[in-house]
Each structure stands twice: as C-alpha cells, then as structure tokens.
Amino acid sequence: MTSTLDSDRPGQSGDRTVDTPVAAAGTFRIGDGPTVNRLGYGAMRITGEGVWGPPADRDAAVAVLRRAVELGVNLIDTADSYGPGTSEILIREALHPYDGVTVATKAGLVRPGPGTWVPCGRPEYLRQQCELSLRRLGVERIDLFQLHRVDPLVPSADQFGVLAELKAEGKIGEVGLSEVSVDVIDAARRTVEIATVQNRYNISTRGSDEVLRYCTTNGIGFMPWAPVGAGTLAAHGVATEIGFAHGVSSSEVVLAWLLQRSSVMLPIPGTTNLSHLEDNCRAATLDLTLAEVDRLDAAAS
C-alpha cells in the first residue's frame, strides 16, 4: 500500500535540466496569503556553529540564498533565534526587497548560548520579537509568523491570543505553529486561524503522521524540519539504491518521497553547500514509482 496520504498530487516535470526545477513541485497557498512552490529552503544553517553568531563565510551564505531563489525557491524559513538574529539579517542582505519570495520566521525560543534553546511564550516577549523581526527583515508585515514552541509555563491561550492580535494589527499575515500535536492545533484554531505546522518529520522520523493527516484534511501547510534526516541504515540503503537507478542522490529521493506523501507538504531542506542545494532542488522533478515509495516505507519501518 502506498504511503501517499492524498491523491491531490501536483504534476511533475520529467525534465531535470530546467532552470527553475523547484517549480515542478507544484504550489501551495499559505492560508489566505501567498502561494509558494512546495519545496522551500530552511535558513538555520547559514549561521555560525551551534546556530550561533555569523557564518564562517558570509559571502557563501548570501550566495546560497540567492541561488535558491534562482532555482525557483520562493519560501524561505528562518527564526529570530537563528544566530540569534543573524539568519534574518543575512536574508535581508541577500534578498530584500524579496520580489515574490515569502520569508517565514518564528519566535518563542530564547538562546542563552550556542546549541541552547529555551521556550519563552510570554505575550510581551512574542510581540517584542515580532517587532525585531520586522526591523531585521525590513518589512512592514511578516507573511508567515510561527510560534517556535508552545511554552509550557505560559497559558497557551495567551500565546495564541497575542498571535491573533498581531494578525489583526496587520503586523503578520498568517500564523503557524511548530512541534505541536493535533490537540494543540485544535486549541489554537479556536483563537486564531492556523495556516502551517512545522514538526520534525522525515523518512525515519514519522511520529507526526497523525498531524500530517490532520493538516492534509484541513488544508494546513505541513513544513517538515530536518526533512532529509540521517535515516535508518535500511532506509538510507534503499534511498541510495533508488537514487542510483535514477542517477540522483539519496537526498533527492527522500525529498521526493516527502513531496509525494501529501499535497500540503512543504519541505524546507537547509544547506550551505551550493552543490547540495542544487541536488535538493532537483528533487522536485523526481517522480518515484509506487513500488519505490513502498520500498522506502518498508525500509523505514
């Protein structure tokens, strides 16, 4: 049985030499906001080691961002905590005034130091971080603003409430959540419409299958972070074999698997390497057979 969660899959191109391969993934409209190509770019890695401070090669980071857009990426995902602030600043340097590129950012994690992340969902803090992201990105409104984590020490209704206020004020367009369950999404939707959910998900990390099904049914974008993942040995081996048959990398195979899994799937692979970026983007043109999808599912389980 195929793993595809819905049958509404956009058509894909067999031409893997197109200048903007990401367009072959099809499109998705984020809530009532922008329509984006379904393969995006995650901008966490363009910061320094431990997601802290500036990158070792600033010019290379800027070049990767610009090349992603050249390849058809028009959804860039970042967060105020990446750096902190560094990723947003680099995105503005590389892409402002954006010209059709949607920059989604997040708030709700404090960074005491490299590699350390602490939830903070106090309404005044989320509002402050929204203002700072507006300034760093150089925009009057953030198209997609996501709660990076629901803070267990702050009433969730207060966290969702400030997002609703920011949307009503026009400071953010659409609202997203990260690392949440179906129950939390339902609770949030009683206060503010949710356009996207961003949970860890890849071929070997599939604890959010229920959330993905919910998002597919309700037309909510699902943005899997760590979409390539290391994978189990078995899954990696099968992905490598399938990639060899198609003349592509295993990363392309697992990204193509994600794109075929649901029409609301919006993978956001991140890299600082131009060659890896181009491989990732070509995944949008790879059409796996149902037999190949079944092999990948079986290996992962």
- CATH number of the domain within which 52 lies: 3.20.20.100
Using CA atoms, how far apart are residues 154 and 136, in angstroms rounded to an integer? 27
- Total tally of structural domains belonging to the chain: 2
- Residue-number span of the structural domain to which 283 is assigned: 223-301
Report CA-CA distances (Å) from 294 to 15, 146, 200, 203, 300. Answer: 24, 33, 21, 12, 10
Residues of the chain with confidence (pLDDT) below 70:
1-18, 230-233
Point out the catalytic residue in the list 82, 98, 125, 201: 82
Contact of 182 with 214, CB cutoff 8 Å: yes
The answer to whether 114 touches 52, Cβ cutoff 8 Å, is yes
Look up 82 and say whether it is catalytic: yes
Collect all residues with Cβ–Cβ distance below 8 Å to 83 and sequence separation of at least 6: 47, 48, 51, 52, 53, 54, 89
What pLDDT is recorded for position 224? 98
Query: What is the separation of C-alpha 157 from the centre of its chain, rounded to a whole number of angstroms?
Result: 25
A 10 A CB-CB count for 131 gives 12
Residue 252 and residue 173 in one domain: no
Query: What is each CA distance from 195 to 27, 220, 263, in whole angstroms?
Result: 15, 5, 14
Find all residues with CB under 8 Å of 62, minimum gap 6, and list them. 90, 93, 94
Same domain, 132 and 251: no
Co-location of 177 and 263 in the same domain? no
288 lies in some domain:
yes
Is 3 within a domain? no
Question: Tokens standing for 1?
Answer: 């049985």
Gap between the Cα atoms of 243 and 280, Å rounded: 13
Of 142, 163, 198, the residue at which a domain comes to its end is 198
pLDDT at residue 293, as a whole number: 94
- Alpha-helical (H) ranges within the chain are 58-70, 86-95, 123-137, 156-168, 182-189, 209-218, 233-246, 250-261, 274-282, 290-300
CB neighbour list of residue 21: distance below 8 Å, 6 or more residues apart: 13, 71, 72, 281, 282, 284, 285
**Are residues 52 and 162 part of one domain?**
yes
pTM of the predicted protein model: 0.93
Would you say residue 209 lies in a domain?
A: no
* Whether residue 228 sits in one domain with residue 194: no
Domain membership of residue 16 (yes or no) is: no
- 176/256 same-domain check: no
Tell me whether residue 295 is in a domain: yes
The token pair at 237 is 């081996």
Residues 33, 144 contacting (CB under 8 angstroms):
yes
